[in-house]
Amino acid sequence: MKPRIALVVLSLVLSLLIGLTLRRGAGGAVTTGPARPLIGLSMDTLEVERWQHDRDLFVARAKELGADVLVVSANSDDTRQVRDCEALINNKISALVIIPHDGAAMAKGVSLAHEAHIPVLAYDRLILNCDLDLYLTFDNVHVGELQAGYLVDKLKGKKARIVRLLGSKTDNNAFLFKQGQDNILNPAIARGDIEIVHEDWCDGWRPENAKKVLNAAITKSGRNIDAVLCSADILAGGAIQVLLEEGLAGKVLVTGQDADLSSCQRIVEGTQSMTIYKPIKHLANTAAELAVKLARREVIVAKEELPNGRINVPAIFLSVQVVDKGTMESTVIADGFHSHESIYGK
């Protein structure tokens, strides 16, 4: 990942090709694009709590900026998500935002959009092997580093045995989380401080697959486990069910990310140790702002880039925060992501 400053510039010629008109923006600045653009939001799923937050925040911010949004959800079906993109394109959208289920499969969605001269923003998950216009996400390598770093710090002074539940191979972020975890774990393993007793990928980020992996680890290596390094809260939920059945809940450190309400509740109860709060409001608001700029054919400055197998995609990375019992109030509650009452009860 090599820092640079990239300009995402969609030419006036392209604007004219899709029937846009030159107009004056606030302060007299010249912009191109419709006065009230229509943005397509193609989502992997709405079955996971986190993505419902993203949808609502994105739509609200876009409307504040004078844009309308068409939202579709594919329920983690790649064929359906491609069809969703086609349907959005046929509805004459001015920009397309995709949260892909499979980063490779959705290259087709980008191709279809570009054939219709519609720019595409990948939201929080990279789309591979295509000429993607822009990628917005959190620093996912750093997410993995924070997860592993939390465990290494808490397990100091003992030879710790860790089970690692990796994410879904269809999601490029899963590999970035692993990369960050490896950055921290590999030196600890080399020192003899950490032993990975078992690890595996959890297809589809499904909690039932997390349960299978942890059950396999216990069958293979026994119940002597110090930590379960879960790449996401939804996997932590599945792992904790196994730990409850084994009488190990609260005795084994468990990581996560996304700051789901259930994970925050588990943290205060003591069955989960930490999560990563990725300020979803900031992500969704920024995505809406960028989508409106793309729709209006305005210039966007991206300070980073990320290779996707075909090009170095202009990228914007947002920061994240560790959440545990000690920081719950100052992070998700202070930010209004969850209320104190919803986490702690009345």
Residue 33, pLDDT score: 63
Q: Where are the alpha helices (DSSP H) in 106-232?
A: 107-115, 140-154, 172-191, 207-221
For residues 12 and 91, membership in a common domain is answered with yes
Question: Mean pLDDT score of the chain, rounded to an integer?
Answer: 91
Nearest to 262 by CA among 237, 225, 283, 282: 237
Quick one: CA torsion of 9, 13, 16, 22, rounded to 10 degrees?
60
Give just the sign of the alpha carbon dihedral 13, 307, 299, 35: positive
Residue bearing tokens 């899963």: 174
Integer CA distances (angstroms), 186 to 148, 168, 182, 194, 228, in order: 10, 21, 5, 9, 16
pTM exceeds cut of 0.75: yes
For residues 97 and 215, membership in a common domain is answered with no
Structural domain includes residue 98: yes
For residues 159 and 213, membership in a common domain is answered with yes
For residues 199 and 298, membership in a common domain is answered with no
Residue 20, pLDDT score: 35
Provide the b/e sequence for 44-76 (b: ≥16 CB within 10 Å): bbbebebbebbbebbbebbeebebebbbbbbeb
Report, as ranges of residue numbers, the positions in the chain whose pLDDT lies below 50: 1-4, 9-31
Structural domain includes residue 214: yes
Range of the domain at 104: 6-132+280-318
Structural domain includes residue 210: yes
Residue 48, pLDDT score: 85
For residues 187 and 150, membership in a common domain is answered with yes
Residue 7, pLDDT score: 57
71: domain CATH number? Answer: 3.40.50.2300
For residues 252 and 306, membership in a common domain is answered with no
Residue 50, pLDDT score: 84
CA distance 226 to 335: 32
For residues 284 and 200, membership in a common domain is answered with no
Residue bearing tokens 């054939």: 115
For residues 212 and 334, membership in a common domain is answered with yes
For residues 67 and 149, membership in a common domain is answered with no
For residues 46 and 72, membership in a common domain is answered with yes
The number of domains in the chain is 2
Nearest to 204 by CA among 101, 274, 110: 101
For residues 112 and 235, membership in a common domain is answered with no
Inter-residue contact 289 to 108 (CB < 8 Å): no
